[in-house]
Amino acid sequence: MEAVISTLQVKPLTCTIGAEVGEVHLGEASRSPELMAEIRALLLRYKVLFFRDQDISRAEHVAFAGDFGKLEDHPMLGSDPEHPGLVRIYKSPDQPNDRYENCWHTDATWREKPPFGCVLRCVECPPVGGDTMWANMVEAYARLPEHIKTQIAPLRARHSIEFSFGAVMPIEKRLALKAQFPDAEHPVVRTHPETGEKILFVNSFTTHFTNFHTPANVRCGHDLNPGAGQLLNYLAAQASIPEYQVRWRWQKNDVAMWDNRCTQHYAVMDYPPCHRKMERAGITGDKPF
């Protein structure tokens, strides 16, 4: 199953998501509009792209990601001071509780405009473990039963940083975080702005549906919390279905780029007490519709 698109070697990793792209140096790619257009087309098709042996500088990393849009920092994770937008996800044995990425999530859906995508490079990987998994949320939506699709079509949901990163903070700090990043509301089924695909768009940052309480869904109070809660849990659990996933075993200098609009990911936290160092450039996105 190997296709050649121009000079790029493209090897799909599953039938639903992920491809490894060879014969490309990302530092040089960002100087070629033609190559960048091909990489963008591949991203739309495969949703996550993997590139081995990318011994690129931080400047090349941000230049490559920056070709897709403006980069943004993360309020909870420090960025490289010389390369704003290049977030450092460094894990060491002395921070055993620093575990946020081992849940299924779409990055920063607590923003009104969640990221378009991310470019993640492995700087140091543990000898074993520390894989990352991605799930195709277009496929997750497509395979839902029809009656669920009908029920969720009009629904909207709240996404919160307070609920996730804020939870371990003292209350004043948590409320300050929430004031800076107020909860966002997004459709439960969003449409991909480039491909038109429908996407199941709830994840670990989603706290509740905002418009579930209609006569069709709620006859009396007893229907509200169980009905809405069970439906949200059911939808959020779709990302964990293996048929929608690809799993990547990192080597140093591997790069993964994902379309954050239509995927979720999960960084497997099975490597402590070893180190793992990743650097991530997050690209700003649009308001979901």
**What does the binding site for ligand SIN look like in residue numbers (CB under 6 A)?**
89, 101, 107, 120, 132, 265, 267, 278, 280
Name the residue nearer to ligand SIN (CB basis): 156 or 277: 277
Name the residue nearer to ligand SIN (CB basis): 89 or 236: 89
Which CA distances in Å does 20 have to 4, 47, 81, 246? Answer: 12, 11, 31, 11
Q: Note the Cα 278 to chain centre separation in Å.
A: 15
Name the residue nearer to ligand SIN (CB basis): 33 or 93: 93
Query: Which residues are known catalytic residues?
Result: 105, 107, 265, 280
Rounded least distance, CB 267 to ligand SIN, Å: 3
Rounded least distance, CB 150 to ligand SIN, Å: 32
Rounded least distance, CB 224 to ligand SIN, Å: 32
Name the residue nearer to ligand SIN (CB basis): 120 or 155: 120
- Mode of pairing for the β-strands spanning 8-12 and 117-124: unpaired
Q: Which long-range contacts (CB under 8 A, 24 or more apart) does 29-37 make?
A: 29/64, 30/60, 30/63, 30/64, 30/66, 30/67, 34/6, 35/6, 35/7, 35/8, 36/67
Residues 6+ away with beta carbon under 8 Å from 156? 185, 186, 187, 188, 209, 210, 211
Rounded least distance, CB 130 to ligand SIN, Å: 7
CA angle (190, 195, 197) in 5-degree steps:
40
